[in-house]
A and B are shown apart, each in its own frame.
Chain A
Amino acid sequence: MIPSAPPASDVLLNGSWERSARSLNTAALLGLLGIGILYFNAQSILALIAVFVTQFTVEPPDLSGGYLERFLENIRHLANPLRTAVVVSQYVFMLLPALLLVRYWHSTDIRRYIRLARAPIAEILLALLATLMIIPSANFIADELVRQLGVPRTIMEINAEIFTSRSLGEFLWLVFVVCITPALCEEIFFRGFVQRTFERTVGWKSVVLVGVIFGLFHFSPLGLIPLSILGMLFGYFFYRSKSLLPPMLAHFANNVLAVYFLYKPEEGAGMAMESIPLWLVGVTLPVGIAMLYLYERLTGRKIENS
């Protein structure tokens, strides 16, 4: 049973960093960079191993067509090994080190420190709905950048291939890889550890700071703005609700939507990769902002108490 969110003063701060005279900002930044280095390097090595093993154990696809088509075929062939590398690295090289750092630097009461606590159902629902309303605007920005740069459709298909499923089994596997795993690992790392630690010195500014860092950490120049917006949104839910559940579920909802749109049980089925129309942004964005205002009102008491 998950406990309800405790007041900030209730968390036992008995870690080594807390007992030293060091800065909390250093802890957050050093943890962020240290885990970042570990995660990306380990992921690259795992991906290389996965690709290497696949090349020697699985029969290669029959490559035909042009340069990009052959590239797409190759990516399809390597998608599952790459997904496995992502899952392993998220749990072993992001989640585990983040929990260890919290345990040794900040508090033995990890759950309370990272705010793995219950949140009222209204807050969770509102966070989910607000996210669903903001997603079209964030994606519209990404689409616009893609359009301005003239990125070819095949390149977008290659990018989307890792999130594309062609059977129910693959769809469920992708839900685990792309939706559950990042919602758990990235939220505990970015919100539970990094934002939580920054929040203790810079308050609400940690929402913006970690949101931008979240965008930068994906190393995707075209996705920087939408990812930063989503990062700030998840950070805002974490900051206001004092619980990790709303951002986790919002993150899950965002990713599951992407996986659902790319579910193609039959050849040619699934949602077409079309740009977000401006009218959809015009409709959803004001509703999303209104929901964020409601969220602000709903969580006001928690902020006053903290």
Chain B
Amino acid sequence: MTITPMSLGDLFDRWFKLIGKTWLRNLILAAIIMGPATLILAMCMDVGFGQIAGLADFDASDSDSGFNPALVEFLAWFLLGLTLFFLGTVGAMVAVTMVGCAEMSGKPLSWQEALQSAFAMPFLRIIAQYLLLGIGFVLLAGIPYALIAGGIAAESVGLGLFGGLLLFVMIPAILYLSINFAFLVPAVTWENESVIGAFRRSWELVRGNWWRTFGILILMNLVVSFAVSIVMTPFSIIILWDFFLNYFEMLGSLGGGEPDSAFAREMIASYGFAFGIVNALSSIAQVIVAPLYLVVMYFDLRARKGEFHQSAEPAPAPIR
């Protein structure tokens, strides 16, 4: 299959066609991989919001340490849910990327094949890459913050100012690196690159096309976020029905007065599970489509580097 460099319109066209061809397989993959994590996250949120609602009644003087044990328990559950959900999201992203790359190459992959392959080496490598990226970005952002904090502690204006200036440098630096490393997942899943090799590969692909990649990624991100927010509107009202019932009951009980904190607590407590489900569903919707634009851009960048055989003859115009 010949892949040539694409214009902006072509990129969107390929992306939408790819979504059309793969959405069912991707939905199945996302549901299988992210479904259990979604439920766990929602349950953790349910417990968590219940604890938050009860915080108002907590008297710190009754506790030896001043800590609310329920809050600690909530944090533990919340972190567990979030970690599982993150792992599920990465797994689904890898599988969807595999399906997309295979489709772009003209060798379609079934969801069963993608599921089997996703949790082999690629999954672990991607996790390792995200860990490396996370540590790197935390360090980049952390150093200026540490300098600012140090400046405040040592009452040194110069140190604080230097930290502040460094922060302004670090933000564009993080953005620059994020764009350069945007194609780690396709590099690992499709080219079987190693952890470090994928960093090098993604950097190489983006080189010379940074601004173009940056602009298109922003556009595609905007499109995905907007589309997901539209699609989630009806789901939100169904899933958050109990919350809205409480909310309107609270408003209805106001009369001419002020909101009652007891109602607010009840409302918060009823929010957790549904909030977790809504968030997870919108993440699933994003995972079905978002990795595919990276796939299309990955193939476009490869074509721009002359990695595909390009036919000298122009492609025939389609017949409509």
**A residues touching B (Cβ–Cβ < 8 Å)?**
16-17, 20-23, 25-26, 29-30, 33-34, 36-37, 40, 65-69, 149-152, 154-155, 213, 216-217, 219, 221-222, 224
In the docked arrangement, what's the CA distance between A10 and B251, Å? 57
Are the CB atoms of B234 and A221 closer together than 8 Å?
yes
Shortest distance in angstroms between B44's beta carbon and chain A's nearest beta carbon?
26
CA of A40 to CA of B10 in the docked complex: distance in angstroms? 25
Interface check B72, CB cutoff 8 A: no
Is B130 an interface position by the 8 A CB rule?
no
- A residues less than 8 Å from B254 (CB atoms): 66-68, 152
Contact B259 A67 (CB under 8 A): yes
Known: A22-B13, A26-B16, A221-B234. A65 touches B256 (CB 8 A): yes
B211-240 contact mask (Cβ, 8 Å, vs A): 1 or 0? 000000000001100110011011011000
B233 touches A224 (CB 8 A): yes
Q: Is the CB of B259 within 8 A of A224?
A: no
Contact of A30 (CB < 8 Å), options: B12, B237, B249, B251: B12
- Which residue on A lies nearest to B317, using beta carbons? A21
B273 to chain A, nearest CB (A): 19
Show 25 A/B contacts (Cβ-Cβ < 8 Å), sorted by A.
A16-B9, A21-B317, A22-B10, A23-B16, A25-B20, A30-B12, A30-B16, A30-B223, A34-B223, A40-B226, A65-B256, A66-B256, A66-B257, A67-B257, A67-B259, A68-B251, A69-B256, A149-B241, A149-B244, A151-B248, A155-B251, A216-B231, A219-B233, A221-B237, A224-B233
Within the complex, which residue of B9, B230, B256 is in contact with A216, where a contact is CB–CB below 8 Å?
A: B230
- What is the interface size of chain B, counting residues whose CB is below 8 A from a CB of the partner? 33
A225 to B9, CA, bound (A): 33
Total residue contacts A-B, CB cutoff 8 A: 79
User: Whole-angstrom distance between the alpha carbons of A224 and B236 in the complex?
Assistant: 12
Known: A66-B255, A68-B251, A221-B233. 16 other contacts (CB 8 A): A21-B317, A22-B10, A23-B13, A23-B17, A25-B20, A26-B17, A33-B226, A36-B226, A36-B230, A66-B258, A67-B254, A152-B251, A217-B230, A221-B234, A221-B236, A224-B233
Question: Which residue from chain A places its CB closest to the CB of B227 in the assembled complex?
Answer: A33
Q: Chain A contacts of B227 at CB under 8 A? A: 33
The verdict on B252 contacting chain A, using a C-beta distance below 8 Å, is yes
- In the complex, whether B315 has a CB less than 8 A from a CB of chain A is yes
Q: Are B13 and A150 in contact (CB under 8 A)?
A: no
A interface, over-half SS: helix
Query: How far does the alpha carbon of A121 sit from the alpha carbon of B286 in the complex, in Å?
Result: 47
Tell me the nearest residue of chain B to A13, going by C-beta. Answer: B320
C-alpha spacing A97/B315, complex, angstroms: 31
Is B318 positioned at the interface, with any CB of A under 8 Å from its CB? yes
- Chain A residues, Cβ within 8 Å of B249: 150
The residue from A34, A149, A222 contacting B245, defined by CB atoms under 8 A apart = A149
Q: Is the interface of B mostly helix, strand, loop or mixed?
A: helix
- A20 CA to B10 CA in the complex, in Å? 9
Which 10 pairs of residues, A with B, have the shortest CB-CB distance? A221-B237, A66-B256, A22-B13, A152-B252, A26-B16, A26-B13, A21-B318, A150-B248, A216-B230, A37-B226
Q: Quick check: B17 and A216 within 8 Å, CB to CB? A: no
Q: Determine the distance from Cα of A36 to Cα of B251 in the docked complex, in whole angstroms.
A: 32
Given the complex, which residues of A lie within 8 Å of B251, measured CB to CB? 68, 152, 154-155
Measured between beta carbons, the chain B residues less than 8 angstroms from A217 are 230
Contacts of A21 in B (CB 8 A): 315, 317-318
Report the minimum CB–CB distance from B297 to chain A (whole Å): 16
| A73 CB, min distance to chain B CBs, angstroms | 13
The smallest C-beta distance from A106 to any residue of chain B, in angstroms, reads: 13
Nearest A residue to B7, CB-CB = A20
Q: Is the CB of B256 within 8 A of A37?
A: no
Q: Is the CB of B16 within 8 A of A25?
A: yes
Q: Which residues of B contact A150 (CB under 8 A)?
A: 245, 248-249, 252
With A69-B256, A150-B245, A152-B248 as contacts: A216 and B13 at CB distance below 8 Å: no
